[in-house]
Structure 1
Amino acid sequence: MQYITRYQKDNDGTYSVVATGVELEQSHIDLLENGYPLKAEVEVPDNKKLSIEQRKKIFAMCRDIELHWGEPVESTRKLLQTELEIMKGYEEISLRDCSMKVARELIELIIAFMFHHQIPMSVETSKLLSEDKALLYWATINRNCVICRKPHADLAHYEAVGRGMNRNKMNHYDKHVLALCREHHNEQHAIGVKSFDDKYHLHDSWIKVDERLNKMLKGEKKE
């Protein structure tokens, strides 16, 4: 078992730590002794148990799936939990005592599942998930307006792209986007992005462009 015994906060908000119980090969030691840093992945176990709010989200989405497909809530939940166990190599997941991290991953998986199969969310479920980044991401990927859920939405930029720029040739990785229907996209431009964020509570909600979104913004076919 590895342990972190000391820490120091760095200027960028991350931490430098001292770890014990780490196994190193001779090649690693040689690099360190010659002044070369080693790349390492450090994962600290999440000791926090899932919240009541997370349980509500999971069961609300499973109820929406039942209403659409007729599949009982319990069998849907167990099926998706099993899928997450296989994907991540987890032991059997229990919603009585799993961590907040595992619950968050399960919520993200169910959201992705619902968007992939075009399963509608009830108003109550949408309200529960209104500030959930995973919901905003998958709504944007599937081009459903994040405000009214209308399909075939625009990919609206937070940062101005610049006049004369060819969006199909430029990379958008330094940009942030959300799916907005034409009506809400026009409103964003009319009142300005800051006022738009204030009105619809979208502060810190814009999605940083990843490879998938970059391809969509360049007009490439969605996977």
Structure 2
Amino acid sequence: MFGRLQKVQGNKVEIELDDEFDFNKVERFANGKQPVVELNVNDGRTITPDQRKKIWALLNDFCRYTGYSLDEAEILFKSLTRSKYNIESFSLSNCSVTTGSLMIEAILEFLFDNDIPFQTKTWDAIPDWFPKQMLCIKKRLCVICGKPGADIAHVQTVGMGRNRAKINHTGMYIMSLCREHHTLQHTIGLATFMETFHIKPIKVTEEIAKELHLGKVKSHEE
């Protein structure tokens, strides 16, 4: 379980957990012995508790859909992450923040590629960070709700004197939105929309345009 340290007094600590604590379940796992907990405080150098929480949430979604056990899923996606990014073996207890981010990205891309659904709670817990935005644009999924068939939404107006069937996206700021959230963006205005959903549009470089095949694609007028 994960939580935030609230107070320390001598050898006693108070922690506010992110989820309800099932003490009966813990007692069953302890098999009649005094339950023991381990306290790890994030010091900014290794994988954060928030990253681990997101990884386990994603793995749970994968297991719920496929029938794999959590242990099997952890082994599978650690191996996938090592292979995909050419990194050494690692532990989720003390790997780097970078490695934690790479594993989240690897799991996300696998779930996207194989149409494995997310729980709403899991999707909401994943931050609107650059890799997630890139994956959503590539797979045409809404960055807010994960719905497929999303539009490429532009921060700038693209319809004034321009052929919208042949847009050069380089230098533009874009995000991937379903029709419902795309319409909401126009209704409440871009600034309010980004503040509400904590969205950070991606600036399209020549490399990103090439990677996401955004040279000349049909899009919707903003």
Q: TM (normalized to structure 1)?
A: 0.69
Alignment of 1:21-170 (within 5 A): 48-170=45-167
Alignment partner of 1:213 is 2:212: yes
- Residues 143, 154 of structure 1: 8 Å contact kept: yes
CA RMSD of aligned residues (A): 2.2
1:214 Cα deviation (Å)? 4.3
- Residues 111, 134 of structure 1: 8 Å contact kept: no
Cα distance in 2 for residues equivalent to 1:89 and 1:180: 32
- Residues 148, 178 of structure 2: 8 Å contact kept: yes
Cα distance in 2 for residues equivalent to 1:152 and 1:132: 20
Please, which runs of 5 or more residues in structure 1 have no aligned partner?
1-46
1:64 Cα deviation (Å)? 0.3
Distance 1:145 1:170, change over 3 A: closer
In structure 2, give the amino acid aligned to 1:207.
I
Please, which runs of 5 or more residues in structure 2 have no aligned partner?
1-43
Distance 1:81 1:122, change over 3 A: same
Q: TM (normalized to structure 2)?
A: 0.69
Distance 1:67 1:180, change over 3 A: same
Q: Compare relative contact order (CA 8 Å, sep 6+) and give the higher one, 1 or 2.
A: 2
Percent identity over the alignment?
33
Secondary structure (helix, strand or coil) at the match of 2:214 reads: helix
- Residues 51, 101 of structure 2: 8 Å contact kept: yes
Cα distance in 1 for residues equivalent to 2:127 and 2:46: 22
1:63 Cα deviation (Å)? 0.6
Higher deviation after alignment, 147-156 or 68-77? 147-156
- Residues 105, 132 of structure 2: 8 Å contact kept: yes
